[in-house]
Amino acid sequence: MPKQTTFLWFDHQAHEAAEFYVGLFPNSKILDVTHYGPDTPGTPGSVQTVWFSLDGQEYIALNGGPLFPFTEAVSIMIHCGSQEEVDHYWYGLIAGGGAESSCGWLKDRYGLSWQVVPAGLFDLLGDPDPDRAYRATQAMLASSRLDIAEIRRAADGLPDTAATPPRA
């Protein structure tokens, strides 16, 4: 099967973004950087592309100008094995100017959309018990950062501990 590589079009922050992502994901690195030459659309000597790897998944970032900004129509999903991983990526990606959205979605400071998803979420959303699946879905829809324990509590019909006031 042919190999696929995600190609990301940035205005002018491709190298900065790649360094940010590489610093957040383990086992990640910048693989190659190319520069614009004479008679090209960019400023000669400025960064054209950055080839980088995030924990083994390769990406290419282009400084292509403002013609094609990111939208929520495309996002990168991070499958997290624990709530600690969810929190690491969630707070790491919104740091420095990112923005929370809903249902585990966020935009980082460069405008790229991400979904930070805890292990077990899709099992809860697709539970064979339609009432349990409904409650899990409603809890997810009411969330920005996903907390799998709270979604599981909702699926089980238990009260949301985050909404429960502390006892005096």
pTM recorded for the entire structure: 0.90
pLDDT tens sequence across 99-131 = 999 999 999 999 999 999 999 999 999 999 999
Distance CA 78, CA 71 (A): 17
Q: What is the pLDDT of residue 104?
A: 97
For the chain, domains (ranges, CATH) are 1-66 (3.30.720.100), 70-161 (3.10.180.10)
For 153-165, give one letter per residue: b (16+ CB within 10 A) or e: bbbeeeeeeeeee
